[in-house]
Homo-oligomer: A and B are copies of this chain.
Amino acid sequence: MCDSDFYIHQDEPLVIVISGPSGVGKDAVIDRMKERQLPFHFVVTAATRKPRPDEVNGVDYIFISHDEFAEMIEKGELLEHAIVYNDYKGIPRSQVRQALESGKDVVMRLDVQGAETIRKLCPDALLIFLTAQSEHELVQRLQLRKTETPEGLKLRIATAKKEFNRIEAFDYVVTNKENQLDETVDVINAIINAEHHRVKMRKVTL
């Protein structure tokens, strides 16, 4: 901390979780962050589902079999995992650890429950809760997906409302306004920049 009594700030890489209810635009925000070539490590999630035609293994996801996934769980190689429609998704621990060791901030996208799991594992993780400007906007975004049945939509809206009550587990809340993706990314960048100047730095050990 000290260079002949002169103050030198100690900086540590951060674990940044972008979370929030279904439909707030988590993927769009992270895609825009990647497009802007921000100097973070974006976690490549391990998944058991089949790759879509446009998806590249190791870039979009790390596609593995159910057996391989089960083995990773058993060996404690996943920081967090979840079942999504009978398929498994998880965050490889070694990937996050390597990025941190190289000094890079790590960005991952997780649902609210996954973010809470990360909070328990790494109390010093930086948790950002993305929200929409209004319920109306959230409903519209979910309808645009066209993959939701009316019942599925109702369920997602009810879940989103419940998730707002869990915001206290998060550090920051950012409203992802419609057609203002760059503004959202600017705020997330400001948060990450600011966090690197905290006197009491977060320090994540995995």
**Partner-B contacts on A (CB < 8 A):** 2-7, 9, 129, 131, 134-135, 161, 164, 167-168, 170-175, 187, 189-191, 193-195, 197-200
Q: Which residues of B contact A7 (CB under 8 A)?
A: 131, 164, 167, 173
Q: How far is the CA of A167 from the CA of B8 in the complex (A)?
A: 11
Tell me how far the C-beta of A16 lies from the nearest C-beta in chain B, rounded to whole angstroms.
12
Q: Which residues of B contact A171 (CB under 8 A)?
A: 198-199
Q: Which residues of B contact A198 (CB under 8 A)?
A: 171-173
The answer to whether B187 and A199 touch across the interface, beta carbons within 8 angstroms, is: no
Tell me how far the C-beta of A195 lies from the nearest C-beta in chain B, rounded to whole angstroms.
7
Nearest to A201 among chain B residues (CB) is B173
The answer to whether B190 and A194 touch across the interface, beta carbons within 8 angstroms, is: yes
Q: How far is the CA of A20 from the CA of B6 in the complex (A)?
A: 13
Excluding A167-B199, A171-B198, A194-B195, 11 further A-B contacts by CB distance (< 8 Å) are: A5-B161, A7-B167, A9-B173, A129-B199, A170-B199, A172-B194, A173-B198, A190-B190, A190-B193, A191-B193, A191-B194
Q: How far is the CA of A173 from the CA of B194 in the complex (A)?
A: 9
Q: Which residues of B contact A167 (CB under 8 A)?
A: 7, 199
Q: Which residues of B contact A199 (CB under 8 A)?
A: 129, 167-168, 170-173
Tell me how far the C-beta of A95 lies from the nearest C-beta in chain B, rounded to whole angstroms.
27
Q: Which residues of B contact A129 (CB under 8 A)?
A: 199
The answer to whether B194 and A9 touch across the interface, beta carbons within 8 angstroms, is: no
Q: How far is the CA of A3 from the CA of B161 in the complex (A)?
A: 11
Tell me how far the C-beta of A73 lies from the nearest C-beta in chain B, rounded to whole angstroms.
31
Q: How far is the CA of A131 from the CA of B9 in the complex (A)?
A: 9
Q: How far is the CA of A45 from the CA of B171 in the complex (A)?
A: 34
Q: Which residues of B contact A197 (CB under 8 A)?
A: 172-174, 187, 191
A-B contact pairs, 11 of them (CB 8 A): A6-B161, A6-B164, A7-B164, A168-B199, A172-B194, A172-B198, A187-B194, A190-B190, A190-B191, A191-B197, A193-B194
